[in-house]
Amino acid sequence: MAEKHILSLEIPTVSNCEVLCVKDTSQYTTKLKVDCPELLITMPGFTAPVLIKTDEKFDLCLNACVLALQKVDCGTKRMKLPDGLYIVRYSVSPNDKVYVEYNHLRVTNLLTSYYKKLCDIDVKACEPSSEREDLLRKMNYIKTLIDAAVAEVEYCSSPNKGMELYNYAEKLLNKITC
């Protein structure tokens, strides 16, 4: 059997709303060269990907300037990256044959809002009142919706269903008042 590269990426959920991290977890055979590594990222709402030139075994945290979303003040400010469906493709030469592609649902901004709401609820290490217990049940359901949205996109290959769940979770979270 011919030796080949086994391409793989890790795209972790991060808590920093200003970066998208991508790590090369590929296994490269020593019998083949690694030429022309390319990382292509299509962001939510876009159809054309951004090309990121890389080396093998990269570990990147990309910001809005690198992803061409932010054009000014790149040295002094960083804007938040949007949540949503990111299509991440990594390839090496021949790039049309040796590649891996992932759908990644970024939920960083939504999780940040979720955690801020938990802080506002002021959860205590004691039996909650019935009103607070009901609120915590709603928050638990919202967190399950967020997890299900990620699962639909990244594991079930159902990006539309995942985005539907994401949008519903966001709607419910916005209704929570503390």
Domain harbouring 90, CATH code: 2.60.40
What pLDDT, on the 0 to 100 scale, is given for residue 123? 74
Q: Please, which residues bridge with residue 52 across strands? A: 39
Q: How far is CA 120 from CA 113, 132, 144, in A?
A: 11, 11, 19
Is the domain of 24 the same as that of 98? yes
What pLDDT, on the 0 to 100 scale, is given for residue 1? 60
Examine residue 4 and state whether it is found in any structural domain, yes or no. Answer: no
Residue 123's contacts (CB-CB under 8 Å, 6 or more residues apart) are 132, 136
Q: Please, which pLDDT band fits residue 133 given cuts at 50, 70 and 90?
A: confident
What pLDDT, on the 0 to 100 scale, is given for residue 129? 74
Q: How far apart are CA 45 and CA 43, in angstroms?
A: 6
Average pLDDT rounded to a whole number, residues 74-94? 95
Examine residue 124 and state whether it is found in any structural domain, yes or no. Answer: yes
pTM: 0.92
Please state, rounded to an integer, the average pLDDT across all residues of the chain: 93
The last residue of a domain, from among 55, 75, 106: 106
Is the domain of 13 the same as that of 91? yes
- Per-residue exposure over 75-106, b if at least 16 CB sit within 10 Å of its own CB, e if not: eeebebbebbbbbbbbbbeeeeebebebbbbb
DSSP class of residue 82 equals: P
Nearest Cα to 70, choosing from 90, 50, 40? 50
Q: Please, which pLDDT band fits residue 3 given cuts at 50, 70 and 90?
A: confident
* Residue 109 C-alpha from the chain's centroid: 10
Q: pLDDT tens, 18-28?
A: 999 999 999 99
Examine residue 148 and state whether it is found in any structural domain, yes or no. Answer: yes
Based on the structure, what is the number of domains in the chain? Answer: 2
Is the domain of 51 the same as that of 138? no
Structure tokens belonging to residue 130: 């019935």
Q: Which of 6-15, 77-86, 127-136 has the lowest average pLDDT?
A: 127-136
Examine residue 137 and state whether it is found in any structural domain, yes or no. Answer: yes
